Amino acid sequence: MIDIKLIRENKDLVKENIKKKFQDEKLPLVDEVFNMDEMVRKVQKEADDLKALKNKKSSLIGEAMRNQDIEGANKIKAEIASMDDRIKELEASKEELDKKIKDIMMVIPNIIDESVPIGKDDSENVEVEKFGEPVVPDYEIPYHADIILGVNGMDKEAAGRTSGEGFYYLLGDIARLHEAMIAYARDYMIDHGFTYAIPPFMIHGNVVEGVMSFPEMEAMMYKIEGEDLYLIGTSEHSMIGKFKGQMLKKDELPINMTSYSPCFRKEGGSHGLEERGLYRVHQFEKQEMIVICEPKDSMEWYNKMWKLTVEIFRNFDIPVRQLECCSGDLADLKVKSCDIEAWSPRQQKYFEVGSCSTLGDAQARRLGIRVKGEEGNYYPHTLNNTVVATPRGLIALIENNYQSDGSIKIPKVLQPYMGGMEVIKKVNG
């Protein structure tokens, strides 16, 4: 949510930003908010003037009573009662206008950074840099589900019986490898100064509304029937929500944390679910990082954060690239975002394994997170980034470490988490 001062002082900038995001249907909302905001200020002024007059009139009642002017005192009381009625009307009108303004402001997109490439959708995202040399071996790499089945590492049929489409059992060494990736990512982030946390896996609706846009919420979140609770789609939701309504001290910043959680997503729409594989599923696990910082430091943190993900995947012997998200691919709360994509030697192309975003002060403004400064209170900036999300990250590891005999090489950094195991051997077929 942007600061309403932007609409008061530079609504053309807000409109131009909407055009850059190819959301022209939202352009009339800017004038609507501008006009309602003017009305709010007029209503507020009238109410304040009436309150001042009421206070002045109230002091005259005592004077009239001392002069035994009962009629005059009663007349003043009647005038004050009329003022009270009008003040109540004005306050009700202001409350209604404030709610309408807030509802509209929640769907007006955040101002994107000037460095964001302009484009309509993810097909116009821009490759920035590659890390590691993509390799296509001289032997065939099977579909990841077939590789995993070859080492007795998965049972989707049983998961279909217990839970339905989009769920899975990971078994044996594959389940262990899955957790090794998460554990390594956790330790890597702790070693880089991030505080480890395990957050609540369910959050209230007002926290959901504070951390994400309505279209994302509807498309992603599972709601608990009969409860004001949602299953988190990523631990960023509850980690940023941790600071809801808080006044932070300036010397507490930056707050940098890394969190583990299971994540739950509908994964509906055009992408659909994978019947055999693990690429699009309703449930996965994730190591996340969040930062709350001074506004001037947010871009520096943004670049630190996505680079940490690159380092981890390179330690897994996985080539990756950074892809800059274009304006039309940015969610409404985001100022700037990039995807980290892993190389798939089977498909001979890259696919997304993580995303890093800076949201400016949008989340802090929605959630009421402020910093007590020397020259007044202000909103901090919030950022989030995927450290490792798996099984998607697991797919990348398996493909890039698959060997011609059907075995899976375990990267050196993960071997201590696998009891010293160096290879997962094929056991059937």
Give me the mean pLDDT over the 274-282 stretch: 81
Is pLDDT above 90 for 79?
no
Q: Which residue has the higher pLDDT, 75 or 367?
A: 367
Same domain, 278 and 170: yes
User: 329 and 199 in one domain?
Assistant: yes
What per-residue confidence (pLDDT) applies to 428? Answer: 61
* Structural domain contains residue 113: no
Tell me what pLDDT residue 172 has. Answer: 96
- Across 189-218, average pLDDT: 90
Q: Which residue has the tokens 């993580």?
A: 354
Range 250-273 average pLDDT:
83
Question: Are both 284 and 419 inside the same structural domain?
Answer: yes
Q: What's the pLDDT at 55? A: 84
Residues 133 and 173 in one domain: yes
Per-residue pLDDT band for 251 (boundaries 50, 70, 90) equals very high
Domain end among 105, 131, 158? 105
Q: Is the pLDDT of residue 366 over 80?
A: yes
For residues 353 and 316, the answer to whether their CB atoms sit within 8 Å is no
Structural domain contains residue 116: no
Q: Are residues 298 and 207 in the same domain?
A: yes
Is the bond preceding 254 in cis, omega lying within 30 degrees of 0?
yes
The answer to whether residue 93 is domain-embedded is yes
- Whole-number Å distance between alpha carbons of 51 and 48: 5
Distance between CA atoms of residues 158 and 144, nearest Å: 18
- Residue 396 CA, distance from chain mean position: 24
Q: Is position 98 within any domain? A: yes
> What interhelical angle do 172-191 and 392-400 show, nearest 10?
100
Q: Does 117 map to a domain?
A: no
Question: Domain check: are 92 and 176 in the same one?
Answer: no
In a domain, 114, yes or no: no
Mean pLDDT of all residues in the chain? 93
Structure-block tokens of residue 39: 């009305």
DSSP string, 166-185: T--EE-HHHHHHHHHHHHHH
In tens, the pLDDT along 50-73 reads 999 988 888 788 777 777 778 888
Q: Is the same domain home to 29 and 94?
A: yes
E-only strand ranges, 227-365:
230-231, 247-249, 255-264, 283-293, 320-324, 336-344, 349-358
Catalogue the E-assigned strands of 302-348.
320-324, 336-344
93 lies in the same domain as 224: no
Structural domain count of the chain: 2
End residue of a domain, out of 76, 105, 134: 105
Q: Which of 98-112, 131-145, 272-286 bottoms out in mean pLDDT, i.e. has the lowest?
A: 272-286
Domain-located, residue 223: yes
Tokens of 365: 């403004």
Q: Which domain range does residue 80 map to?
A: 4-105
Size of the chain, expressed as the number of residues it contains: 429
Asked, for residue 115, whether it belongs to a domain, the answer is: no
Do 171 and 227 fall into the same domain? yes
* 128, 29: one domain: no
Angle at 325 between CA 319 and CA 327, to 5 degrees: 170
CATH number at 180 reads 3.30.930.10
* Residues 35, 29: Cα–Cα separation, whole Å: 10
Asked if the model's pLDDT at residue 270 lies above 50, the reply is no
CATH label of the domain that carries residue 87: 1.10.287.40
How many CB atoms lie under 10 A from the CB of residue 218?
10
Q: What is the pLDDT of residues 151-192, one digit of tens each?
A: 999 999 999 999 998 899 999 999 999 999 999 999 999 999
Q: How far is CA 334 from CA 22, 97, 117, 248, 267, in A?
A: 15, 26, 14, 22, 21
Residues 50 and 143 in one domain: no
Map tokens 């999300």 to a residue.
Answer: 389
| Residues 327, 310: Cα–Cα separation, whole Å | 23
User: H helices then E strands: how many in the chain?
Assistant: 12, 18
Residues 181 and 81 in one domain: no
Q: What whole-number distance in Å separates Cα of residue 250 and Cα of residue 4?
A: 24
Residue 156 has, within 13 A of its CA and on its CB side, a CA count of: 18
Distances from the Cα of 60 to the Cαs of 46, 115, 149, in angstroms?
Answer: 21, 62, 89
